[in-house]
Chains A and B, each alone.
Chain A
Amino acid sequence: MAGGGATLMAGMRARSAAGRVSNQDAIWFKWMLISLAAMFLTLMLVLPLAVVVYEALSRGVGTFWKAAVDKDALAAMRLTLLTVAFAVPLNLAFGVACAWAVAKFRFPGKSFFVTLLDLPFSISPVIAGMIFVLLFGARGVLAGTWVGNWMAENGIKIIFAPPGIVLATIFVTVPFIARELIPLMQAQGREEEEAAISLGATGIKTFLRVTLPNIKWGLLYGVILCNARAMGEFGAVSVVSGHIRGKTNTMPLHVEVLNGEYQFAAAFAIAAILVLMAVLTLVAKSIVEWQAAREFARLANAEGAQ
C-alpha cells in the first residue's frame, strides 16, 4: 500500500481502541509529548487552513462571493465536477470488480497484480500526467500513426482538453477503492457467498444481498478518499491541461492561475471552497469510521452471545 495511507480497517481500530492509558509515563513527560504533537500539527496543518479562510474572508464576504461566482471560477467548478463524475464511478466499478476477482478467487500472479495496482500511487503526479502527453501529445507516440491521424481528422482532442484531464485524474485515483475493498473482502472470506449460491441465488443477487452489506462502509470510505483526490489533483492535471481559462482549468488549477496573476483575493476564495471540501471529507471519513466500528462491535457482541 505504498502511498495509500488511510484505510477503513486502520481507521476503525483507531476509533475502537479504548485508548490504553499508560500510567507509567511521568505526567510532565506525557504533557510534553502531547504539546509537541499539538504544536507540530498546529504549525503544519491548522495554520494553513486558518490562513486560507482568513485571506478569503478578510476583504469582506462580498469580495469572496464575487470571486466564487466569477465566470471562469464557475467554469472551473463545472470541469472539476465533470472530472469527478467520470473518475469516481469508473474507479468504483473497477474497484468492486478487481476486489471480487482478487479476494474471492485464487489465480497465478495475484500478488504481482496487487503490487501493480499500487503503481499510480508510487509515481510522481507530474509523470502520471506526462505519460498521457507522450501518448496523445503533438509529438507523442500516436502522432502520425493512423490512430493519431484519425483523431486529428475527427477533431478529437485529448491533451489541452477535458478528456486528458479526466484520463489523468482516473489514472491517479485508480487504486483508492480497490485498495479499500480487497483486504475487507479477503477478511470476510467466501462462506456466506458460497452458501447463497448453493441455495440457488444468482451471482448478482448474491453480490447485492450478501457481499454489498458487508463491504458498504469500506466502499463508502474508498469513494470519499477517491473523490477528495479527484477534486484536488494538481500535478497530473496541470501537465495535460494547458491552463486555458474557462476551458481546461479545474478548481486547483484555477487557484494557481489566479495566484500567478496576483489576484490573491480570488485565489484564496477558490482555495477556501476547496478547504471546505477537505474538512467535509475528513468529517465524512470520521463518521464512516465510527459507524463501521459500531457495527463491527455489535456483530462481535452478537457472535460472542451465541
Chain B
Amino acid sequence: MDAVLANAARPRKRLSVLPGFGLTMGFSVTYMSLIVFLPLSTLFLMTARLSWDEFWGIVSNDRVLAAYGLSIGGAMVAASVNTIFGVIIAWVLVRYSFPGKKIMDGLVDLPFALPTAVAGIALTAIYAENGWLGQFLAPLGIKAAYSRVGVVIAMILVSLPFVVRTVQPVLEDLDAEIEEAAASLGARRWASFLRVIFPTLLPAILTGMAISFAKAVGEYGSIIFIAGNLPGKTEIAPLLIYLRLEEFNYPAATAIAVGMLAVSFVMLLVINLLQAWTRRSSQT
C-alpha cells in the first residue's frame, strides 16, 4: 500500500533521475547490432537471392526432408522422455528429503556446463557395441550408437535440465493448503494429483517441454559423434547445413537453415505464449 502511494505521489520526472541511459542503451544497441543483427541479416540477403523454385528444390530434396524429419522427430521423442523424467526429478527434489539430494540438484545443470563434444564422445564410448552399455544392448539386437537411437540419446542429454528447472519453482510455490484441503475433503492421492496439482503444473511442464524440443532440434555437437551420419538415415539437419557450407554452397545451406529457423521461431512464439500462461496461472 505504501509503495502504491509513494508511486502515485512521485512526479513522473523522477524516473529520469538516474544517469547513463543514453550511454548504456547506445552501447547495448550498437553491440547487439554488430554481433547479432548484422550477421543475422545476411540470412535474409542470401534468401532474397534465391527464387521460390530454387528454395523449394533444395528444401524438398529427399535427403533434406529425411534430415528435417530426424531432427524434428528425434527432438519430439527426446522432449517427451525429458518431460516424464523431468517432472519426476522436480517432484523428488521439491517434495522429499533424502541423502544426496543437493548433489542430485546440482547434477541436473551438468548439461549447461559440459561441452557438447564431450557429451558426444562419452555417449559413443558407452553405447558402442563393445561399450559399457552397448555390449548388453547388442545381443538384444539394439544398435544404440551409430543409429537413430543414438541421436535421440544425445538429444535427451543436452536438453535434460529444462523441464526440471521450469517445473521446480512452480511446484515449490504450490499451495500446500489446497492439497491438504483436497485430502481432507476425502480426495484420494491420485485424484488430488490429477485434479489439483497437475493442472497447475501443466503450463510449466509444456514450457519446459517446448524449450527442450527447441534445444534438441538444433543440437549438433553431441549428435555427430554418435549418429554415424549416414545420408538419409542418421543425418541431422544442422549437419547438412555444415556440409553445404563446406562445399561453399551457401544458397543450399541458407535454404536448409531457413526451414530450421521457421521451426525455431514457431517454438519461440509457443514458448512465450506458454510462459505468459504459466505466469497467469501461478498468480491466480
Contacts and interface: CB of A to CB of B under 8 A. Distances in A.
A28 interface: no
B268 A118 contact: yes
Given A120-B36, A130-B257, A174-B35, A34 B96 contact: yes
A43 to B, nearest CB: 8
A239 B121 CA distance: 19
B146 to A, nearest CB: 13
B260 A174 contact: no
B260 A124 contact: yes
Interface string B101-140: 1101111111111111111011101100001110000000
Contact of A34 (B94, B98, B217): B98
Per DSSP, chain B at the interface is: helix
B36 A44 contact: no
Contacts of A30: 96
A194 B16 CA distance: 9
A105 B28 contact: no
Interface in A59-100: 90, 93-94, 96-98, 100
Contact of A48 (B122, B254, B260): B122
A228 B116 CA distance: 11
B101 A127 contact: no
Contact of B115 (A90, A130, A138, A278): A278
Contacts of A14: 93, 105, 168
A87 to B, nearest CB: 10
A47 B121 contact: no
Interface string A110-140: 0000011111101111110011111101111
A167 interface: yes
Interface stretch (A148-156, A230-238, A298-306): A230-238
Contacts of B176: 20
B11 interface: no
Contact of B161 (A6, A100, A127, A268): A6
A221 B102 CA distance: 18
Interface residues of B, number: 105
A10 B108 CA distance: 13
B166 to A, nearest CB: 9
Contact of A225 (B18, B95, B112, B132): B112
Contacts of B43: 127, 131, 134
A203 B23 CA distance: 11
Contact of B241 (A126, A255, A267, A281): A126
B242 A131 contact: no
A194 B18 contact: yes
B264 A122 contact: yes
B280 interface: no
B15 interface: yes
B58 to A, nearest CB: 15
Contacts of A33: 88, 91-92, 96
Given A33-B91, A197-B17, A126 B220 contact: yes
A165 to B, nearest CB: 14
Given A126-B238, A234-B116, A38 B104 contact: yes
Contacts of B221: 125, 234-235, 238, 252
Contacts of B189: 24-25
B264 A234 contact: no
A244 interface: no
A197 B23 CA distance: 17
A286 B103 CA distance: 10
A10 B171 CA distance: 12
Contact of A239 (B115, B217, B242): B242
Given A44-B156, A98-B28, A125-B220, A271 B117 contact: yes
Given A24-B183, A45-B157, A238-B221, A282 B113 contact: yes
Contacts of A274: 114-115, 117-118
A140 B38 CA distance: 13
Given A48-B123, A203-B19, 20 more contacts: A6-B161, A13-B172, A17-B172, A21-B95, A34-B96, A44-B160, A46-B107, A49-B122, A51-B132, A94-B28, A107-B25, A124-B238, A125-B218, A137-B250, A225-B113, A234-B116, A234-B117, A251-B115, A268-B121, A285-B109
Interface of A: 1-3, 5-6, 10, 13-14, 17, 19-22, 24-25, 30, 33-34, 36-38, 40-41, 44-49, 51-52, 55, 90, 93-94, 96-98, 100-101, 104-107, 115-120, 122-127, 130-135, 137-141, 167, 170-171, 174, 190, 193-194, 197-198, 203, 206-207, 225, 228-229, 231-235, 238-239, 251-253, 255-256, 259, 267-268, 271, 274-275, 277-279, 281-282, 285-286
8 contacts: A10-B168, A19-B101, A24-B183, A33-B92, A126-B241, A140-B42, A171-B35, A229-B112
By Cβ-Cβ distance, the 7 closest A-B pairs, closest first, are A124-B218, A232-B115, A234-B221, A48-B122, A235-B220, A203-B19, A134-B42
